[in-house]
Structure 1
């Protein structure tokens, strides 16, 4: 556990309860504080209660674009658009994938956006989060 990680809060938003549980355990073991939400509405409530340092967001939850719609809302909110976001998807990864998703946002994203393909193991997720947060 690093002292730096101990001061960082990660919000996991995914409708897959097992994914959230496994990754919450791994992140907490690495010293992060973890908030969990199982849809975008819960995620928004969590963000308003405590602004996280990074959000891990599934693209497809109850609908195929719930995560994208939620990310667009974050991007359009000047108080929240500075939060780095990891967009997770199980869609086939192509070189155009990030460009395609970037084109869905009206404004350039001021914070880091990282695209990760599911399934992703917990150790890699912790490493990617640590890298983006400069830990």
Structure 2
């Protein structure tokens, strides 16, 4: 008997504009996604806690609790993938959403095919299989190679997908973890922004590099500001703490 296909990821759409909310819900459902909706930030927070979605799609401008505040509240409780939506493209609005913990953002108006592509990309890189395969012996009977990368007092266990600094666990979002895995795979090597966008965000197209900059800032705040060096005009590299 053929196994049933896995269920489609459930999306929670939080949008106060009724026309946009209903149109986006119907479009996503045509692609097979189950979609729950909420019309304001507080309703969205309650739906997040009761409906247990696989991804949240949050508008920035929401009544009662704005999208940035909602994102922060959700991030305090979960590593759930979050995609922000906004008609405002000023850097401060984009950065505020990303700093609140969003994995990515889309600018309205958007084509539904583009939105679905971004949703699938976020789900793919934050799912259980996200990240590179753990280190292992290349043949049966060979000893298992260490899966723990150690740089000074920073330890990254690529089997357990756990991070410790000075022996203490550091909670990272899936996107932050993938970013750190790229840095620790090649300490001291310059990582250009477009390379990181391709490897961490799976973007083959030219995307906004601000998403990289903000996630690097969030990662620095968690593992130590001096560990990731900015190479102005090019990108970043992981260095040892003196």
Pairing 1:92–2:89 present: yes
Q: Deviations over 1:14-36 (max 9, x none)?
A: 00111111111111111111001
Where structure 1 has 5 or more consecutive residues not aligned to the other structure, the ranges are: none
Where structure 2 has 5 or more consecutive residues not aligned to the other structure, the ranges are: 126-242
Runs (4+) of structure 1 exceeding 6 A deviation are: none
Pairing 1:113–2:115 present: no
Pick one of 117, 135, 146 that aligns with 1:127.
117
The 3 A distance-change label for structure 1 pair 102 and 134 is: closer
Q: Distance in 1 between matches of 2:52 and 2:73?
A: 15
Equivalenced residues, count: 121
Q: Which has the larger radius of gyration?
A: 2
Residue in structure 1 matched with residue 72 of structure 2 by the alignment: 72
Residue in structure 1 matched with residue 164 of structure 2 by the alignment: none
Shift of 1:42: 1.3
**Which structure exhibits the higher relative contact order, with contacts defined as CA atoms closer than 8 Å and separated by 6 or more residues?**
1
Query: TM-score, structure 2 length as denominator?
Result: 0.45
